[in-house]
Amino acid sequence: MNYKNQHVFLCGFMGSGKSTLGRQLAKRMNRQFIDLDKFIENKVQKSIADLFKEQGEKTFRLLETRYLFEVIKIKQPAVVALGGGTACTALNLDIVKQNSIMVYISVSANELFERLRKSNTKRPLIKGLSPEALNLYIHRTLQEREPFYKQAHLQLNGSGLNDSQLFDAVRHYAP
Ligand code: S3P
Protein backbone atom coordinates (compact mmCIF):
# COMPACT_ATOMS: atom_id res chain seq x y z
CA MET A 1 0.00 0.00 0.00
CA ASN A 2 1.27 3.41 -0.94
CA TYR A 3 -0.12 6.61 0.58
CA LYS A 4 0.01 8.25 -2.84
CA ASN A 5 -3.02 6.45 -4.16
CA GLN A 6 -5.07 6.54 -0.96
CA HIS A 7 -7.50 9.06 0.38
CA VAL A 8 -6.55 10.37 3.81
CA PHE A 9 -9.58 10.72 6.09
CA LEU A 10 -9.33 12.63 9.35
CA CYS A 11 -11.70 11.79 12.17
CA GLY A 12 -12.03 13.11 15.70
CA PHE A 13 -14.23 15.16 17.95
CA MET A 14 -15.56 18.62 17.14
CA GLY A 15 -12.77 21.09 17.77
CA SER A 16 -9.97 18.55 17.33
CA GLY A 17 -8.57 20.46 14.34
CA LYS A 18 -9.62 18.13 11.51
CA SER A 19 -10.49 20.90 9.07
CA THR A 20 -7.51 23.13 9.77
CA LEU A 21 -5.01 20.28 9.68
CA GLY A 22 -6.74 18.69 6.71
CA ARG A 23 -6.55 21.84 4.64
CA GLN A 24 -2.84 22.24 5.44
CA LEU A 25 -2.10 18.58 4.79
CA ALA A 26 -3.87 18.69 1.43
CA LYS A 27 -1.75 21.66 0.43
CA ARG A 28 1.40 19.89 1.49
CA MET A 29 0.41 16.77 -0.43
CA ASN A 30 -0.79 18.73 -3.42
CA ARG A 31 -4.28 17.32 -3.21
CA GLN A 32 -7.85 18.38 -3.14
CA PHE A 33 -9.21 19.07 0.35
CA ILE A 34 -12.78 18.08 1.12
CA ASP A 35 -14.58 19.07 4.28
CA LEU A 36 -17.50 16.65 4.49
CA ASP A 37 -19.72 19.20 6.27
CA LYS A 38 -19.07 21.76 3.52
CA PHE A 39 -19.61 19.11 0.87
CA ILE A 40 -23.04 18.35 2.37
CA GLU A 41 -23.88 22.05 2.67
CA ASN A 42 -23.10 22.54 -1.01
CA LYS A 43 -25.18 19.55 -2.04
CA VAL A 44 -28.27 20.46 -0.04
CA GLN A 45 -27.77 24.21 -0.34
CA LYS A 46 -28.27 24.65 3.37
CA SER A 47 -26.05 25.13 6.38
CA ILE A 48 -25.57 22.19 8.74
CA ALA A 49 -27.21 24.33 11.44
CA ASP A 50 -30.33 24.85 9.30
CA LEU A 51 -30.38 21.21 8.31
CA PHE A 52 -30.45 20.19 11.99
CA LYS A 53 -33.07 22.83 12.79
CA GLU A 54 -35.39 22.03 9.90
CA GLN A 55 -34.97 18.30 9.45
CA GLY A 56 -33.39 17.03 12.64
CA GLU A 57 -30.30 15.02 13.41
CA LYS A 58 -31.68 11.79 11.96
CA THR A 59 -32.00 13.26 8.48
CA PHE A 60 -28.60 14.87 8.82
CA ARG A 61 -27.06 11.45 9.61
CA LEU A 62 -28.69 9.88 6.55
CA LEU A 63 -27.37 12.64 4.32
CA GLU A 64 -23.96 12.40 5.98
CA THR A 65 -23.70 8.71 5.09
CA ARG A 66 -24.96 9.28 1.57
CA TYR A 67 -22.42 12.02 0.85
CA LEU A 68 -19.63 10.14 2.60
CA PHE A 69 -20.15 7.40 0.02
CA GLU A 70 -20.03 9.99 -2.75
CA VAL A 71 -16.77 11.40 -1.48
CA ILE A 72 -15.24 7.95 -1.21
CA LYS A 73 -16.00 7.29 -4.86
CA ILE A 74 -13.93 10.28 -5.98
CA LYS A 75 -11.06 8.79 -7.95
CA GLN A 76 -8.39 11.40 -7.31
CA PRO A 77 -6.90 10.80 -3.84
CA ALA A 78 -7.99 13.61 -1.52
CA VAL A 79 -7.64 14.69 2.08
CA VAL A 80 -11.03 14.60 3.77
CA ALA A 81 -12.09 16.06 7.11
CA LEU A 82 -15.04 14.11 8.46
CA GLY A 83 -17.64 15.52 10.83
CA GLY A 84 -17.23 14.63 14.50
CA GLY A 85 -19.92 11.95 14.31
CA THR A 86 -19.30 10.58 10.82
CA ALA A 87 -17.07 7.66 11.77
CA CYS A 88 -19.30 6.61 14.64
CA THR A 89 -21.53 4.05 12.96
CA ALA A 90 -20.36 0.59 11.97
CA LEU A 91 -21.30 1.20 8.34
CA ASN A 92 -19.49 4.51 8.00
CA LEU A 93 -16.47 3.32 9.93
CA ASP A 94 -16.10 0.24 7.74
CA ILE A 95 -16.35 2.13 4.49
CA VAL A 96 -13.85 4.75 5.64
CA LYS A 97 -11.39 2.17 6.90
CA GLN A 98 -11.56 0.13 3.75
CA ASN A 99 -11.11 3.05 1.42
CA SER A 100 -8.61 5.36 3.02
CA ILE A 101 -5.82 5.86 5.44
CA MET A 102 -7.93 6.83 8.41
CA VAL A 103 -6.35 9.08 11.02
CA TYR A 104 -7.76 9.87 14.45
CA ILE A 105 -6.77 13.31 15.68
CA SER A 106 -7.00 12.73 19.39
CA VAL A 107 -7.51 15.58 21.85
CA SER A 108 -8.35 15.16 25.53
CA ALA A 109 -11.82 16.04 26.79
CA ASN A 110 -10.40 18.82 28.94
CA GLU A 111 -8.60 20.42 26.03
CA LEU A 112 -11.65 20.05 23.80
CA PHE A 113 -13.66 21.84 26.45
CA GLU A 114 -11.19 24.74 26.49
CA ARG A 115 -11.25 24.95 22.70
CA LEU A 116 -15.01 24.61 22.21
CA ARG A 117 -15.86 26.94 25.07
CA LYS A 118 -13.93 29.73 23.41
CA SER A 119 -15.18 29.25 19.89
CA ASN A 120 -18.39 31.13 19.31
CA THR A 121 -19.98 28.02 17.98
CA LYS A 122 -22.47 27.44 15.24
CA ARG A 123 -22.36 23.72 15.91
CA PRO A 124 -25.92 22.61 16.49
CA LEU A 125 -25.14 19.85 18.98
CA ILE A 126 -23.48 22.16 21.49
CA LYS A 127 -24.95 25.54 20.70
CA GLY A 128 -26.24 27.36 23.75
CA LEU A 129 -24.93 24.86 26.31
CA SER A 130 -23.74 26.24 29.63
CA PRO A 131 -20.06 25.55 30.41
CA GLU A 132 -21.12 22.77 32.80
CA ALA A 133 -23.40 21.15 30.25
CA LEU A 134 -20.78 21.48 27.53
CA ASN A 135 -18.15 19.86 29.70
CA LEU A 136 -20.46 16.98 30.52
CA TYR A 137 -21.49 16.59 26.88
CA ILE A 138 -17.86 16.42 25.74
CA HIS A 139 -16.80 13.88 28.36
CA ARG A 140 -19.80 11.66 27.77
CA THR A 141 -19.81 11.83 23.98
CA LEU A 142 -16.07 11.39 23.64
CA GLN A 143 -16.32 8.24 25.72
CA GLU A 144 -19.05 6.91 23.42
CA ARG A 145 -17.19 7.81 20.27
CA GLU A 146 -13.65 6.82 21.08
CA PRO A 147 -14.22 3.10 20.43
CA PHE A 148 -14.99 4.11 16.83
CA TYR A 149 -12.26 6.73 16.45
CA LYS A 150 -9.69 4.36 17.88
CA GLN A 151 -10.19 1.93 15.06
CA ALA A 152 -8.48 4.38 12.71
CA HIS A 153 -5.25 3.15 11.14
CA LEU A 154 -3.36 5.93 12.86
CA GLN A 155 -3.93 7.82 16.07
CA LEU A 156 -2.09 11.09 16.61
CA ASN A 157 -2.13 13.41 19.56
CA GLY A 158 -3.77 16.56 18.18
CA SER A 159 -2.35 18.82 20.85
CA GLY A 160 0.35 20.82 19.07
CA LEU A 161 0.21 18.58 16.01
CA ASN A 162 1.19 20.18 12.72
CA ASP A 163 0.62 19.14 9.12
CA SER A 164 4.25 18.18 8.59
CA GLN A 165 4.11 15.66 11.46
CA LEU A 166 0.80 14.42 10.14
CA PHE A 167 2.25 13.92 6.67
CA ASP A 168 5.25 12.06 8.11
CA ALA A 169 2.95 9.69 10.00
CA VAL A 170 0.88 8.97 6.88
CA ARG A 171 4.00 8.31 4.78
CA HIS A 172 5.44 6.13 7.46
CA TYR A 173 2.24 4.11 7.70
CA ALA A 174 1.98 3.47 3.95
CA PRO A 175 5.34 4.16 2.31
C1 S3P B 1 -21.02 16.80 14.49
C2 S3P B 1 -19.89 17.51 14.16
C3 S3P B 1 -19.89 18.57 13.15
C4 S3P B 1 -21.04 18.38 12.15
C5 S3P B 1 -22.33 18.21 12.86
C6 S3P B 1 -22.33 17.01 13.82
C7 S3P B 1 -20.91 15.73 15.52
O8 S3P B 1 -18.65 18.55 12.46
O9 S3P B 1 -20.81 17.30 11.31
O10 S3P B 1 -22.60 19.39 13.56
O11 S3P B 1 -21.78 14.85 15.58
O12 S3P B 1 -19.92 15.75 16.29
P13 S3P B 1 -17.24 19.09 13.10
O14 S3P B 1 -16.64 17.96 13.88
O15 S3P B 1 -16.44 19.43 11.90
O16 S3P B 1 -17.58 20.26 13.95
Run means of pLDDT, 10 residues per run, the chain, 175 residues = 95 98 98 98 97 97 98 98 98 98 98 91 90 97 98 98 98 97
Short-list 131, 146, 124, 144, CA closest to 51: 124
The preferred substitution site among 13, 36, 37 for testing ligand 1, maximizing ligand atoms within 8 Å of CB, is 37
CATH of the domain at 130: 3.40.50.300
Report helix, strand or coil for 125. coil
The reported pLDDT for the residue numbered 119 is 82
Domain count, the chain: 1
Residue 156 lies in a domain: yes
What pTM did the predictor assign? 0.97
Residue 109 lies in a domain: yes
The preferred substitution site among 57, 59, 112, 125 for testing ligand 1, maximizing ligand atoms within 8 Å of CB, is 125
Q: 81: number of CA atoms within 13 Å, CB side?
A: 22
Residue range(s) defining the domain that contains residue 107: 3-169
